[in-house]
């Protein structure tokens, strides 16, 4: 018995988990169960069929597994090999033909066929057509191999079949039990038509949830702006620009601000964003305050030689000068300019030993290789590094 096998203690740790494949025939129940039990697939299927013949027990068991067995690992929505909707539709079509021929021939009205047989045919036809329509709408719609177009076709055919059966029964009302049967295809018709509303309703609910989430987020942003950001500003204000507390507060403020307002910003950052992030990292490591200002186009990518040179200049300024550092990025149609200015004691470029790579190689050399230029101006009031990259300069990197 499958039920006793599934409830057995986990004596065999190698046993495969009881899950349904995402690539399955109908629901993945038999395949999953066969794998779990280590039994051949055909045996499991045969078992279900045999049990179904025992008063429909197999059907119940199958449904029970269908509901409670989880899908296997994976992201994609499940795909089914068997065209269940079409098979149901074909059965319904045959049934409808039977109903039509019966009505036209009038053999059950004439008494040649029993009313119960007619009821079975009509009931099965209606049930199959309804099931086809529902299956297509509720299950096949998310199937990557089928999709909404397929669902629409099946639904239209199912509706036509049901309407046809309904029409035939209206035109040729039979004996008393057949009158009650007229309502059967009508009910199926309503079920198929209303199933489309389920999808619509789901979409609507999802939209509502999104909106509520967005509202909550902006409410929270407003609250944090009023309380936490103000407090962080105050901490910076009171603790002095380059103290440890102020730097931490500033880093926190930047992070919070990015989380609050940038939201779904593209991951591929531009130069100002990248330098701003880098400034935040530097502020944590060195006693500096870096103000990054940008104007004009920000089309420059953060990956090129210009960005690397600018980062190096910022690092130099943080390491040797400290205090307040200004970074200004200007992007125009002619090119991109970056200025990094500090208030340190300054240095003479010629005094720097030739083996020190910092300024000469990492900044000026790198800019030259990128097709731009770099210059350093330093006096007792501080140092300013100017990087310039003309449009089209970055091609040789």
Which span sits near other proteins by CB under 8 A: 49-57, 114-122, 179-187, 320-328? 320-328
Q: What is the C-alpha separation between 345 and 323, in angstroms, rounded?
A: 11
Write each residue from 194 to 233 as x if it is in contact with other proteins (CB under 8 A), else as -, in one continuous string.
-------------------------------xx--xxxxx
Q: Does 324 bind other proteins (CB under 8 A)?
A: yes
Distance CA 151, CA 196 (A): 10
Among residues 28, 78, 133, 331, which is the contact residue for other proteins, using CB under 8 A?
A: 331
Cα gap 325→304, rounded to integer Å? 22
Q: Which long-range contacts (CB under 8 A, 24 or more apart) does 23-28 make?
A: 23/78, 23/79, 23/81, 24/78, 24/79, 24/80, 24/81, 25/80, 25/81, 25/82, 26/80, 26/82, 26/84, 27/62, 27/66, 27/80, 28/69, 28/71, 28/72, 28/78
Instruction: Calculate the CA dihedral of residues 356, 362, 363, 369 and round it to 10 degrees.
Output: 130
Q: Which is nearer to other proteins, 140 or 253 (CB)?
A: 253
Give yes or no for a contact between 346 and 322, defined as CB atoms under 8 angstroms apart. Answer: no
- Asked if 374 and 367 count as a contact pair (C-beta separation under 8 A), the reply is yes
Least distance to other proteins from the beta carbon of 332, Å?
A: 5
Cβ distance to other proteins smaller for residue 159 or 229: 229
Single residue of 179, 245, 297, 299 touching other proteins by CB under 8 A: 297
Binds other proteins (CB under 8 A): choice among 308, 330, 347, 365:
330
Size of the site for other proteins (CB under 8 A): 37
Residue with tokens 């929270």: 220
Residue selected from 1, 180, 333, 348 as contacting other proteins according to rule CB under 8 A: 333
Between CA 119 and CA 234 the distance in angstroms is 82
Is 187 or 265 the residue whose CB approaches other proteins more closely? 265
> Smallest gap, in angstroms, from Cβ of residue 337 to other proteins?
9
Site string for other proteins, 354-383 (x = CB under 8 A): ---------------------------x--
Between residues 52 and 242, which has the closer beta carbon with respect to other proteins? 242
Site string for other proteins, 245-284 (x = CB under 8 A): -x---x--x---x---x--------------x--------
Reference 123, options 87, 177, 75; nearest CA is 177
Asked if 291 is part of the footprint of other proteins (rule: CB under 8 A), the reply reads yes
Nearer to other proteins, 52 or 252 (CB): 252
* Cα(275)–Cα(251) distance, integer angstroms: 14
H helices of 69-114, in order, are 84-105
Nearer to other proteins (CB atom), residue 195 or residue 273: 273
Query: Counting contacts by CB under 8 A, is residue 318 touching other proteins?
Result: no
Minimum distance of other proteins from residue 388's CB (angstroms): 13
Sequence-distant (6+) residues with CB within 8 A of 304 are 370, 389, 394, 397
The residues with which 329 forms a beta bridge, in sequence order, are 294, 338
Distance CA 234, CA 246 (A): 9
Residues forming contacts to other proteins in the complex (CB under 8 A) are: 225-226, 229-234, 236-238, 240-241, 246, 250, 253, 257, 261, 276, 291, 293-297, 324-326, 328, 330-333, 339, 341, 381, 384
């Amino acid at each position: 018995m499958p039920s006793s096998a599934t409830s057995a203690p986990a004596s065999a740790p190698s046993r495969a988990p009881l899950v349904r494949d995402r690539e399955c025939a109908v629901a993945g129940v038999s395949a999953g169960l066969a794998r779990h039990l280590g039994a051949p697939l055909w045996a499991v299927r045969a078992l279900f069929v045999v049990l179904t013949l025992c008063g429909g027990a197999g059907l119940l068991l199958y449904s029970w597994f269908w509901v409670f067995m989880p899908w296997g690992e994976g992201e994609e929505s499940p795909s089914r090999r068997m065209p269940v909707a079409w098979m149901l539709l074909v059965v319904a079509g045959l049934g409808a033909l039977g109903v039509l021929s019966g009505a036209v021939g009038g053999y059950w009205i004439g008494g040649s066929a029993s009313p119960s047989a007619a009821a079975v045919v009509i009931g099965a036809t209606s049930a199959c057509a309804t099931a086809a329509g529902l299956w297509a709408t509720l299950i096949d719609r998310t199937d990557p191999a089928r999709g909404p177009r397929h669902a629409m076709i099946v639904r239209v055919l199912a509706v036509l079949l049901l309407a046809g059966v309904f029409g035939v029964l209206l035109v040729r009302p039979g004996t008393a039990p057949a009158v009650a049967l007229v309502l059967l295809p009508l009910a199926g018709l309503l079920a198929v038509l209303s199933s489309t509303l389920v999808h619509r309703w789901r979409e609507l609910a999802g939209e509502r949830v999104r909106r509520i989430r967005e509202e909550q987020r902006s409410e929270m942003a407003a609250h944090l702006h009023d309380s936490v950001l103000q407090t962080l500003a105050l901490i910076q204000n009171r603790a002095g620009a380059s103290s440890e507390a102020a730097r931490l507060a500033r880093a926190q403020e930047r992070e919070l601000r990015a989380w609050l307002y940038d939201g779904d910003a593209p991951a591929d950052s531009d130069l100002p964003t990248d330098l701003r992030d880098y400034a935040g990292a530097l502020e944590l490591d060195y006693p500096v305050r870096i103000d990054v200002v940008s104007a004009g186009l920000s089309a420059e990518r953060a990956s090129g030689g210009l960005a690397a040179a600018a980062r190096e200049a910022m690092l130099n300024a943080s390491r040797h000068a400290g205090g307040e550092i200004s970074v200004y990025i200007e992007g125009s149609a002619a090119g991109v300019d970056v200025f990094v200015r500090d208030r340190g004691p300054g240095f003479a470029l010629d005094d720097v030993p030739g083996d020190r790579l910092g300024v000469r190689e990492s900044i000026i050399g790198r800019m030259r290789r990128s097709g731009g230029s770099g210059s350093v101006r330093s006096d007792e009031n501080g140092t300013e590094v100017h990087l310039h990259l003309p449009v089209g300069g970055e091609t040789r990197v």
